[in-house]
Amino acid sequence: HILVPWLVKTSEPDEFSSLFFTLKDKRKLVCCYQFPLYLPPGLFEVMCVRAHNEKHKLQLLHQWGEGLHCLHLHDKIHVIMTYFKNNKSESERTDVILKFEVIDESVDRVEETPASTMWSILLPLLLDFEQLLASYSGILVKRLTECPKCQTASFIGEWLTPKDAQALASRSCEACKQEIDSAYLVQPKEQKRVIIKRNNQVTTESS
């Protein structure tokens, strides 16, 4: 059936909420866009349409007024897009946060999806969104990456200018003071290659 994002006004489904709770301790990449003034009307809905493009290889599982939940067709990866008001904002204005999450559903280290593969799923979505942002003028937006340890968006989002961050093996989180593997903060260099184990067969793919 055809689902028109602009017409979806339902709240977050209970089924998704229950599933999301089971995924809370899984390995993930989380990139955020913080809009200090406003989220342009229709921007999230247009991104939902783009996420359905065949190139992203996503199967829709849930969609509601402020969110989209998909499963990758080839990897055990959940892709979640949501937006919400940031009540923790220090300013008098209420920021709006638009969040992209990719979560590895693997149950053990043998099957776990490498961070570089997770980036290969997330980055094309981010670049699609960047293309949408470029079509607007005068939008204030801040790019952030969430710490995988404390779930605080304490790192500057550097997916558009990753070179400096890629040179560091790890970085310290200002919020929790832990050292975080850079593989969870920025995409790997293009020349890196990753071994992916699927169905007990080992294959080599470009990251």
- 5-206 CATH fold: TATA-Binding Protein (3.30.310)
Q: pTM of the full predicted structure?
A: 0.84
Model pLDDT, residue 106: 87
Model pLDDT, residue 161: 92
123 vs 157: CA distance, rounded Å:
12
Backbone angles phi, psi at 175, to 5 degrees: -80, -50
172 vs 182: CA distance, rounded Å:
10
Is the confidence at residue 77, as pLDDT, over 80?
Answer: yes
Spans of all domains in the chain: 5-206
Q: For 119-152, how does the pLDDT look when each residue is reduced to its tens digit (9 = 90+)?
A: 999 999 999 999 999 998 888 999 999 999 999 9
Give residue 115's identity as a one-letter amino acid code.
A
Is the confidence at residue 99, as pLDDT, over 60?
Answer: yes
Place of tokens 């229950």: 18
pLDDT band, very low/low/confident/very high, at 202 (cuts 50, 70, 90):
very low
Average pLDDT over residues 88-102: 79
Q: For 157-191, how does the pLDDT look when each residue is reduced to its tens digit (9 = 90+)?
A: 999 999 988 999 999 999 999 999 999 999 998 74
What percent of the chain has pLDDT above 90? 62
